[in-house]
Amino acid sequence: MHEPLDRVEPGTAVPVSGDESPGLWTLFRQAIRGTQMDYTKAPIGRAIFMLAIPMVMEMAMESIFVIADIFWVSHLGADATATVGLTESMLTCIYAVAMGVSIGATALVARRIGEGNPEGASRAAMQSIILMLLLSAAIGTAGYIYADQLLALMGAPPSVIETGSSFTRVMLTGNATVMLLFLINAIFRGAGDAAIAMRVLWFGNILNIVLGPLFIFGIGPFPELGVTGAAVATNIGRGSAVLYQVYTLLSGKSRITIHPRHFALDFGLIGRVLRLSGTGTLQILISTASYVGVVRIVSGFGADAVAGYTIGIRLIIFALLPSFGVSSAAATMVGQNLGANQPERAEEAVWKAAYYNMLFLGGLGLIFLIFADPLIGIFTQEPAVHAYGVTALRVISCGFVFYAYGMVLSQSFNGAGDTWTPTWINLFAFWLVELPLAWVLARPLGLGPLGVFIALAVAFSTMAFVSAVLFKRGRWKTKKI
């Protein structure tokens, strides 16, 4: 039996099973445990599996935390729930920044690891962390000072501001916890330490789930803080996870090890991270902002249409979470294999990951088509809402086979450090195709919400087609970062 990662000398490649082909259960256990592997030499299918499994598990835990958090807050009433919803809307921009910086860090770290340059990977990691700390300090200061005004700007009534401004202030002031959690886990994933990233998030979110009701309701020795207690629990949970991350980086228990010499500012390297991250942030904002436009079009057809769309899209997002794990695995494979000067292997890994993702999402799409009625029925019994939800789920899921490819290809560009290509693809697919088509189908052509759902499926398919054409051109293979 091979040793787990934290007992293996960093940088030492350990074969998963020699020349034998281990069973899926054996690979699953090794992936969760964190057995080390050289992703530039191992069999491609096995490498993708070993990277993707912990990434999928990581995202599954994040979804559980989100559900648990809103479950407890909902017991405090509409104002408290509204506070969380409005604050989360503001935090979406922060998440975009965190994910954008993470895209740049993942690309740089993966490339240096693939080149056999762990020192360069460590320097890139530390300079990314410094950049994130500077950004989070600016955001935290503004959040602390202007929490009330920001809630008012979001349209919160006085009762919500009075109830929830402290929640907003704590969440925005403590934004460094989520920013660093995103970033350092991206660094681990780029280095190939997906199991460490998974354990970090599980630790932080389990702590968060346990502390949430204790601080909200004042159970035992804990103070009763109401909705603010949810913010306190979130920051303690995420902050503890960040401390775990920092300990791992400093202790040499991952492929990335931070030493005091890496703390010296390297403005050239920070500039490279910033260039990659700025484009990555724009890429994510383009994608997420398009959903605001979609909801705005749907809202013109009444509350029932919005409610049905919301239920359908939530189910779709949960279905897509595992696919993000496969996509992230493909990005790591691209970065490391380009660093090892193996562009053809990188390309083969992407197409194989996309095929696996297509099988998974295609199967889910088929389930949604057949069982949309009972699935939506779990969430609502109102006939009009139910009908809209079923239509949304069935129509949008028709694009799953195409979106499976689009997700993997888009992240693969990012893994290569080519962040502009998926940014332009997102702009074209979501703003020049999806939104205009949604409006035309819904309004002039009279299809109503059905037209919006068709536009979403068309946009997914368009993104996949354009991504495939540009990916096959191969310019990403020559990207220097």
Statement to judge: residues 155 and 212 lie in one domain: yes
Q: With contact defined as beta carbons under 8 Å apart, do 333 and 51 qualify? A: yes
Contact criterion met (CB below 8 Å) for 192 and 336: yes
What DSSP string runs through 197-248? HHHHHHHHHHHHHHHHHHHHHT-TTS---THHHHHHHHHHHHHHHHHHHHHH
Q: Range of 452's domain?
A: 276-478
Q: End of a domain among 265, 284, 316?
A: 265
Answer yes or no: do 128 and 58 share one domain.
yes
- 246 lies in the same domain as 357: no
SS3 446: coil
Closest by CA to 34, choosing from 200, 195, 190, 186, is 195
CB contact at 8 A, 455 and 441: yes
pLDDT of residue 132: 95
Indicate whether 253 and 319 sit together in one domain: no
Q: Is residue 284 part of a domain?
A: yes
Q: Give how many domains the chain has, as a whole number.
A: 2
Does residue 25 fall inside a structural domain? Answer: no
Q: In terms of Cα–Cα distance, which of 429, 89, 122 is closest to 256?
A: 122
Q: What is the pLDDT along the chain (481 residues), one digit of tens a residue?
A: 333 333 333 334 444 434 456 677 888 888 888 777 888 998 998 899 888 889 888 877 776 776 677 678 777 876 777 777 777 767 878 888 888 999 999 999 999 999 999 999 999 999 999 999 999 999 999 999 998 888 888 777 788 788 778 988 999 999 999 999 999 999 999 999 989 999 999 999 899 999 999 999 999 999 999 989 999 999 999 999 999 999 999 998 899 999 999 999 999 999 999 998 889 889 988 988 887 788 889 888 887 888 888 788 878 877 787 788 889 999 999 999 999 999 999 999 999 999 999 999 999 999 999 999 998 888 778 888 889 999 999 999 998 999 999 999 999 999 999 999 999 999 999 999 999 999 999 999 999 999 999 999 999 999 999 999 999 999 999 988 8
Do residues 261 and 282 share a domain? no
Q: How many residues does the chain have?
A: 481
Query: What is the residue whose two structure tokens read 């080519």?
Result: 418
Task: Please give the Cα distance from 184 to 375 (Å, whole number).
Answer: 36
Residues 321 and 186 in one domain: no
Residue 19 lies in a domain: no
First-last CA distance in the chain: 38
Q: Mark whether 280 and 396 lie in a shared domain.
A: yes
| Exposed/middle/buried for residue 264 (C-beta within 10 Å: 0-12, 13-18, 19+) | exposed
The burial class, CB within 10 Å (0-12 / 13-18 / 19+), for 123 is buried
Angle in degrees, CA 369, 371, 372, rounded to 5: 70
283 lies in the same domain as 258: no
pTM: 0.83
Answer yes or no: is 270 within a domain.
Answer: no
Q: Answer with the one of 265, 297, 324 that is the final residue of a domain.
A: 265
Do 292 and 259 share a structural domain?
Answer: no
Please say which residue of 235, 265, 295 terminates a domain: 265
